Amino acid sequence: MSNNKPKPFVSVIIAALNEEESIANVIKSVPKDLADEIVVVDNGSNDRTAEIAKGAGARVIQEPLAGYGRAFRAGLRAISPGCEIVVFLDGDGSDCPEMMDRLVTPIIEDRSDFVIGSRTRGNREAGSLIFHQVVAGYMIGFLLRILYGAHSTDMGPFRAIRRETLDKLNLREETYGWPLEMQMRAARARVRTMEVPVDYRRRAGGHSKIAGTIRGTIFASTRILITFARIAIQRS
């Protein structure tokens, strides 16, 4: 990028559900020289997540209807119209926002339009990813290569994408299949996609909505499989 060219407007969207123990540190860890706005989507919390997020400097919106994809879609409706790059991450403290430059810089420098942070390629804290999450990431990557010739090792939530590119993907998934839908539609549309290693930690507090319970794991896995099948058979 030319030194005379202004930095693109970057919006950070953080999905949060009962993350009062971690949300402040997540917000404070976002590099302020890169992020022009931080929007936290409170997806039906019954604790002080929203209050603490506001106190940490984020703009908070409410999406009371449960759904991982629904929360991020609500965030997209709320960000600035002038946004050029969108960064997504979770509010549980497991992602490393301080590594955001790895995701945003390739887009700013016009080397990519979509950058995924791969937890499997980065440094993982013990217990941060359970075995079936790692296997699922590589399995989905194998299937994406078969279908679209795309390379992928993870479906990690920490990712950045050019806003105009995202709008063209027309994402519809409202549950845990939302990250996969983004990757599949991007691969099919031949979007310039890059995967970079990012570090991953155990959640900073609270309980996992997916890996923390058998019910959560089954629900998330089912939604991911349904999403994969739905997108794979669609023509557009």
| HEC readout, 10-55 | EEEEEEECCCCCCHHHHHHHCCCCCCCEEEEEECCCCCCHHHHHHH
Tell me which residue of 165, 170, 173, 140 sits closest to 68, measured CA to CA. Answer: 173
Name the stretches of the chain with pLDDT < 70. 1-4, 206-217, 235-236
Query: And the tokens for 82?
Result: 């002038």
Q: 164: helix, coil or strand?
A: helix
Cβ atoms of residues 11 and 87 within 8 Å:
yes
**End-to-end CA gap in the chain:** 33
Residue 74, class by beta-carbon neighbours within 10 Å (0-12 exposed, 13-18 middle, 19+ buried)? buried
Which phi and psi (to 5°) does residue 20 adopt? Answer: -65, -25
Adjacent-strand bridge partners of 12? 38, 87
In this prediction, residue 224 carries a pLDDT of: 86
CB 82: neighbour CB atoms within 10 A? 11
CB 33: neighbour CB atoms within 10 A? 9
- CATH code of 10-233, in short, is 3.90.550.10
CA dihedral 185, 187, 43, 89 (to 10 degrees): -160
pLDDT tens per residue across span 32-58: 999 999 999 999 999 999 999 999 999
pLDDT tens per residue across span 74-87: 999 999 999 999 99
In this prediction, residue 203 carries a pLDDT of: 85
In this prediction, residue 131 carries a pLDDT of: 79
- Residue in the block written with tokens 């949300």: 23
